[in-house]
Amino acid sequence: MTERRVVITGIGILSPIGNDLDTFWKNLVAGVNGIRTITNFDASGYDSRIAGEVRDFDPKTAFNNPKDVRRTDRYAQMAMGAAKMAVADSGLDLNADSTHRDRFGVIIGSGIGGLQSLSEQIAVLHAKGPGRVSPFLIPMMISNMASGLVSMELGLGGPNMAVVTACATANNSIGEAWRMIKYNEAEAFLAGGSEASVVPIGIGGFAAMKALSTRNDAPEKASRPFDRDRDGFVIGEGAGVVVLEELEHAKNRGAKIYAELIGYGLSADAYHMTSPQPEGTGAARAMKNALDIAGVNPEEVDYINAHGTSTGLGDVCETKAIKRVFGDHVNNGLLISSTKSMTGHLLGAAGSVELAATIFSMSHGVAHPTINLDNPDPECDLDYVPNTAREKKIRTALSNSFGFGGHNATLLVRTFEG
Residue 409 within any structural domain of the chain = no
**Distance (Å, rounded) from C-alpha 16 to C-alpha 27?**
10
The pLDDT value given to residue 11: 98
Question: In this structure, are residues 397 and 336 in contact, taking their beta carbons and an 8 Å threshold?
Answer: no
Block means of pLDDT (10 residues each) for the chain, 418 residues, are 88 98 98 98 97 97 94 98 98 82 96 97 97 97 98 97 98 98 96 98 96 97 98 98 97 96 97 95 98 97 98 97 98 97 98 98 98 98 98 98 97 94
The pLDDT value given to residue 42: 97
Q: How far is CA 337 from CA 264, 346, 383, 418, in A?
A: 20, 16, 8, 28
Residue 34 within any structural domain of the chain = yes
If one counts the domains in the chain, the total is 1
Residue 133 within any structural domain of the chain = yes
The pLDDT value given to residue 1: 52
| Catalytically annotated residues | 167, 307, 345
Question: In this structure, are residues 235 and 187 in contact, taking their beta carbons and an 8 Å threshold?
Answer: no
Question: Which CATH number is 108's domain given?
Answer: 3.40.47.10
Residue 414 within any structural domain of the chain = no
**Distance (Å, rounded) from C-alpha 291 to C-alpha 208?**
37
The pLDDT value given to residue 95: 85
CB contact set of 257 (below 8 Å; sequence gap of 6+): 7, 8, 9, 250, 416
Q: Helix, strand or coil for residue 99?
A: coil
Question: Could you tell me the residue range of the domain that residue 337 belongs to?
Answer: 1-403
Residue 338 within any structural domain of the chain = yes
Residue 415 within any structural domain of the chain = no
The pLDDT value given to residue 227: 98
What are the E-state strand segments in 73-213?
A: 104-109, 160-161, 188-195
Residue 416 within any structural domain of the chain = no
**pTM of the predicted protein model:** 0.97
